[in-house]
Amino acid sequence: MYQAAPNLSRTPSAYFDEEHSADVVNGRMGQDINPRLKQVMSVLVKHLHAAVKEIEPTHDEWFAAIRFLTETGQMCNEWRQEYILLSDILGVSMLVDAINHRRPSGATPNTILGPFYVENAPQYENGANICLDGKGEPLVVAGRVTDISGNPIPNAKLEVWQTNDDGFYDVQQKGIQPDSNLRGVFTSDAEGGYSFKSVKPRHYPIPSDGPVGKLLGAMGRHPNRAAHLHFIVTAPGYEPVITHIFTPDCPYLPGDAVFGVKSELIADFKKVDDIDAARAVGFEAPFWSVTWDFALAPTAKPQRTIA
Amino acid sequence: MYQAAPNLSRTPSAYFDEEHSADVVNGRMGQDINPRLKQVMSVLVKHLHAAVKEIEPTHDEWFAAIRFLTETGQMCNEWRQEYILLSDILGVSMLVDAINHRRPSGATPNTILGPFYVENAPQYENGANICLDGKGEPLVVAGRVTDISGNPIPNAKLEVWQTNDDGFYDVQQKGIQPDSNLRGVFTSDAEGGYSFKSVKPRHYPIPSDGPVGKLLGAMGRHPNRAAHLHFIVTAPGYEPVITHIFTPDCPYLPGDAVFGVKSELIADFKKVDDIDAARAVGFEAPFWSVTWDFALAPTAKPQRTIA
């Protein structure tokens, strides 16, 4: 039953050592595995080991990291995705978005999707008001959807969502806000035009009562997102645009907690104090008005994936 | 109420961009935070962004990573630490151990602690048998605890634990194995000597029914640990040694799933087929015998920590 060990087994180079640690780990991967997974894991292990060697964590620090990662997973539920939040505050979500949406000049840039998008929101005619709780400063949003040469795109689908004047999305306050408050789907007309009524958005904090919020605080950072409206604009033959428009007067523009602001997405929100203009849109004066056009790039080629 | 935005807010360089992503994120950290946390997070963000830029994940791949991290956290409970398992199979646990235990020549090297250590195991006299279930091939372990010059260390505490012959630790089979099966605490005598009886350890798989096991399989790797006994050896004035000794005939020595093998920790397990020798230790022939000495380095200086 007992067999002499092969010579290999006592050769130090067969085993893990500090200097070659990443190569030893990556050398264990099989030959016939998914090549994309092999590439992804090789790169992750290389950078992970490089980071550990640069940090030189104590055992207690390593265990604090284990606890943090565990608690972050255990904070997640149907309505809370703490790992996306972690990705957001470390700039990874925006980086992945940037890598996947390098657009031609003139196209509307993407920004972060965020966790509060809901499919199948109510469909409205252009001009409808998506504010169902009557709170906040009234706003008219109007503009056009075009290609990057400025040609109108009719029948584009515009999905919009935002917080109410208390800084919460409808799905964060079920039973408190009306269902689908400040959320709707519009369709561009023959000239690419769209319009709707809403309220001026406000800055709000990302959920900060979990492990990610504690980390943010320990790093000396605030949890606030700059005030914005979310949009997804889609049309057949064009790359979907997932984006925001930002108000220019928000104090959190340069400090947005998830790095979602791009200077090209800061809009001109104009305060209108004219009774006739207000009457024309069905508001009382004063109200806010913003004109915003979306320029869509042609559909890109499909990408490789292991997901 | 409306104020003109500061000029800064429309300057592109104030915002996130792909090229400077890590610097933008790290530039947000406060001035007055824990300097060690600042260093750790800077290094992590730098390497994380470098890895993302090298991988260029699609949105679906990014989301697969979010799901994996979430499920790994949600797999953890009182008896299962899936994030430690992840750290183990990626070689990070061994790397952290190596960084924290760079010992002088002649000292017994550390290896991974593993998840099955239990404090306050039963104390035994030297020579006692820790195998309480009667399974497996009998084994005698004996040797000395010394300093790195070979001087005996009396009253050193030796904690030992291992799997039973079915490949499970007692805490994995509560109610099936006797409590504290194959687990005990011994004390070195005036000459530094210790001895106990047990059974020859067997290889066994790490828990592979969770997300980490699925990843291991997708990477074309097996889940087996090379057969070993665990030890923690402590004595006042000396650096604690957390280590294993490995059997030389295990087929998983070079492929240990958590990279725990060091060539210096492979012991000579001798098969003894002599009736008198067997009678002397209270076994029937044949039985296994291994002699193993531990050499302890003087206590190192305390280390900085943020944990």
Q: Is the dihedral of CA B148, B149, B153, B158 positive or negative?
A: positive
pLDDT band at B183 (very low <50, low <70, confident <90, very high): very high
Counting one residue from chain A and one from chain B, the pairs whose CB atoms sit within 8 A come to 285
Contact B266 A32 (CB under 8 A): no
Which residue of A lies nearest to B47 if distances are taken between CA atoms? A47
pLDDT band at B1 (very low <50, low <70, confident <90, very high): very low
pLDDT number for residue B291: 98
- Statement: residue B293 has pLDDT above 80: yes
Query: Buried b / exposed e across B73-100, counting CB within 10 Å, b at 16+?
Result: bbbbeeeebbbbbbbbbbbbbbbbbbbb
Query: Buried b / exposed e across A40-64, counting CB within 10 Å, b at 16+?
Result: bbbbbbbbbbbbbbebebbbebbbb
What mean pLDDT value characterizes chain A? 93
Contact B33 A218 (CB under 8 A): yes
pLDDT number for residue A300: 72
CB contacts under 8 A, B 79-98 vs A, are: 81-84, 87, 90-98
Query: Which spans in chain A are helix H?
Result: 21-27, 35-55, 59-74, 82-89, 92-100, 211-218, 275-281
Contact A91 B4 (CB under 8 A): no
pLDDT less than 70: residues of chain A? 1-14, 301-307
Contact A248 B90 (CB under 8 A): no
Contact A45 B73 (CB under 8 A): no
Residue identified by tokens 């699609």 is B58
CB contacts under 8 A, A 266-305 vs B, are: 266, 269, 271, 303-305
Contact B99 A52 (CB under 8 A): yes
pLDDT tens string B87-105: 999 999 999 999 999 998 8
Contact A72 B69 (CB under 8 A): yes
CB contact at 8 A, B108 and B150: no
B15, B64, B82 member nearest A307 (Cβ)? B64
C-alpha–C-alpha distance, residues B144 and A207, integer Å? 56
Q: Write down the ipTM of this complex.
A: 0.90
Contact A254 B220 (CB under 8 A): no
Triad A211, B307, A60: Cα angle to 5°:
120
Q: Is the Cβ of A54 closer than 8 Å to some Cβ of chain B?
A: yes
Report chain B residues whose CB lies below 8 A from the CB of A34.
Answer: 218
Q: Is the Cβ of B78 closer than 8 Å to some Cβ of chain A?
A: no
pLDDT number for residue B186: 98
- Statement: residue B65 has pLDDT above 90: yes
pLDDT tens string A158-181: 999 999 999 999 998 999 999 999
Q: Is the Cβ of B7 closer than 8 Å to some Cβ of chain A?
A: no
Instruction: Chain A: give the shortest CA distance to residue B116, in Å.
Output: 16
Please report, rounded to a whole number, the percentage of residues in chain B having pLDDT higher than 90: 89
Contact A219 B37 (CB under 8 A): yes
pLDDT number for residue A7: 47
Q: Is the Cβ of B73 closer than 8 Å to some Cβ of chain A?
A: yes
Which residue of B lies nearest to A44 if distances are taken between CA atoms? B51
Domains of chain B: 7-56 (no CATH), 87-296 (2.60.130.10)
Contact A74 B76 (CB under 8 A): yes
Give A50-94 as a DSSP string: HHHHHH---HHHHHHHHHHHHHHHHT-BTTB-HHHHHHHHTTHHH
Interface test with B, best of A219, A228, A239 (most B CBs within 10 A): A219
Query: How many residues comprise chain A?
Result: 307
- Statement: residue B276 has pLDDT above 50: yes
Interface test with B, best of A53, A66, A86 (most B CBs within 10 A): A66
pLDDT tens string B208-251: 999 999 999 999 999 999 999 999 999 999 999 999 999 999 99
Contact A50 B48 (CB under 8 A): no
